Amino acid sequence: MAAVSNNEIENQALKAEIIKLKTQLSLLQDQEFLRKLNLAYTAFGVAVPNEASAEAISWTPGAAKHLVSFIADDFDAPLEDFAEYM
């Protein structure tokens, strides 16, 4: 195993942080993500940071149907972590 200097460790940490920040930035530029985020803010009664872009939700059946975009097929399957309690 090669010895790693502090500069290399710091460089690796900085590269990981840059990747994380680029991912966060791409989410902020994704209009579909922002639309869903605004819907969630409105649905839970939290003040939207930019009120001008908030969409109103009517409280009728199916009003939040666009908030969840994916649910796994095994969503309601028993969890292995709780097998001993079942």
**Statement: residue 61 has pLDDT above 50:** yes
Q: Which residue has the tokens 């009003």?
A: 63
Binned at pLDDT 50, 70 and 90, residue 77 comes out as confident
- Cβ neighbors of 39 (< 8 A, separation 6 or more) are 55, 57, 64, 66, 67
Give me the pLDDT at residue 52, please.
45
Rounded CA separation 42/62 (Å): 15
Question: Can you give the pTM of this predicted structure?
Answer: 0.32
Position 57 pLDDT exceeds 60: no
| Secondary structure letter of residue 77 according to DSSP | S
Radius of gyration for the alpha carbons in the chain, expressed in angstroms and rounded: 21
The residues near 35 (Cβ < 8 Å, ≥ 6 apart) are 55
